[in-house]
Structure 1
Amino acid sequence: MNNPSLISGTTFNEIFAIMEASFPVSEIRTFSGQRALLDNPNYQLFTEKDTEGKTLAFLAAWEFPELRFIEHLAVNPDIRGGGIGNKLMSSYIHRSDKPLLLEVEPPDGELEQRRIGFYERLGFQLNPYSYVQPPLRAGQADLPLRIMTYPQAVTLKEFQRFRDILYTEVYRITVPSSR
């Protein structure tokens, strides 16, 4: 895992190419929107590279006083299934004792269930609470997702506090005080 503060332009381009190949448009920002996050001190990118320095996989995370949020984890589609994603996740999990959160699609299909199973094998718990990801690009709708947490499931009150941190700090939307 590299030093997240040293992301070069070439590395960012490789990361964004993996991101575009791995996620639907509704789950990623535009190139410029994603690149602008590099200026945010809470946002970090970790990569796994091959012997020639080409990016094979990345993990994008947000670090806050109360929690850590894994926004994206992706491996180059040509080499998936070789344990690189597991290696990146395991390394990141052990960087801190703070609770970890990530978003997943609801377990409605086989692919979604397999993704959830990958995170469960790492120790994450699927929480039962309703959650929507605010749009990452103009003109998109809210995206119904679920929250997984590590090392344990969270209470409704913890979930609401963590969700509000994500909404205000990651998605930059105002959370009504009545929540």
Structure 2
Amino acid sequence: MQGMKPETLTKRRVTGADDPLFVKSLDIYRTSFPLHEQRRVQDFPLAFEDPGFYYEVFLDEAGRVAAILVTWRRQEFVYLEYFAVSASLRGQGAGQRILEELRDAFPHKVILEIDPPEDEISRRRLGFYRRHGFVPNPQFDYIHPPYTAEGESYPLLLMTHEKTLDPDVYQAFVHFHHEWVVRRFYDISSRPE
């Protein structure tokens, strides 16, 4: 994949956990996010039942998954839950193109979370999103609940496109995220794989 142009990527929406593209995307998913930030694979079928849940993959010319973009689309906001580009494509503009496409489709509505900028990697990530028009929202002490009932909560920094979050939209996002995106999965998350 070295030297691939971002415009050669093809976007496909994954339709369920039994979709072959979902299975092929799991390597990028598992290697791009720390374990505590990952939804368990067995929890994805319930997420796919939500018509506003979009699991999209970007394929290279050989049909390999080169990137994933996972969003929850609501009227007030679009929550970017997961975004990862294959290590072999990083720094070549693929992430920029994918993020710009999402941002342009939903101006001023995209909400994403990043680790607080406390080390080199998290500061670079903050810089990447800032270069693409996203602003941090430090006015909110945002705590992400764990993806399983046994896990621990952790602080993250919310970012939004061009404008900081309105307090009412923030409250709507937190309620939606905590109750619908995370906690409703606790019952099935406690089952063994």
Q: Give the shorter-chain TM-score range.
A: 0.7 to 0.9
> Which of 144, 160, 165 in structure 1 is aligned with 2:171?
160
Q: Deviations over 1:143-164 (max 9, x none)?
A: 1111101131124444233222
> Which of 112, 124, 130 in structure 1 is aligned with 2:134?
124
Q: Deviations over 1:29-54 (max 9, x none)?
A: 11111343222211102221111211
* 1:110 alignment counterpart: 120
> Which of 147, 150, 158 in structure 2 is aligned with 1:147?
158
Q: Which amino acid aligns with 1:110?
A: E
* 2:55 alignment counterpart: 45
- Give, in whole Å, the separation in 2 of the partners of 1:83 and 1:104: 20
* 1:64 alignment counterpart: 74
* 2:4 alignment counterpart: none
Which of 97-106 and 123-132 deviates more? 97-106
* 1:136 alignment counterpart: 147
DSSP-derived class of the 1:81 partner: coil
Aligned-residue CA RMSD in angstroms? 1.9
* 1:177 alignment counterpart: none
Bigger relative CO (Cα 8 Å, ≥ 6 apart): 2
DSSP-derived class of the 1:2 partner: strand
2:100 aligned with 1:80:
no
Aligned sequence identity (%)? 28
DSSP-derived class of the 1:141 partner: coil
> Which of 16, 28, 34 in structure 1 is aligned with 2:44?
34
- Give, in whole Å, the separation in 2 of the partners of 1:103 and 1:20: 18
Q: Identify if the C-alpha distance between structure 1 residues 170 and 98 changes in structure 2 by more than 3 Å, giving closer, same or farther.
A: farther
Q: Which amino acid aligns with 2:137?
A: N
CA contact (8 A) 2:14 2:22 kept: no
Q: Structure 2 unaligned runs (5+)?
A: 1-9, 185-193
Which of 55-64 and 94-103 deviates more? 94-103
- Give, in whole Å, the separation in 2 of the partners of 1:39 and 1:165: 16
> Which of 47, 62, 65 in structure 2 is aligned with 1:55?
65
CA contact (8 A) 2:115 2:157 kept: yes
Give the structure-2-normalised TM-score: 0.81
- Count of aligned positions: 173
DSSP-derived class of the 1:90 partner: helix
Q: Structure 1 unaligned runs (5+)?
A: 174-179
Which of 109-118 and 164-173 deviates more? 164-173
1:171, distance to aligned residue in structure 2 (A): 1.8
CA contact (8 A) 1:58 1:88 kept: no
- Which consecutive aligned stretches of 4+ in structure 1 deviate over 4 angstroms post-superposition? 5-8
Q: Which amino acid aligns with 2:66?
A: L
Which of 160-169 and 58-67 deviates more? 160-169
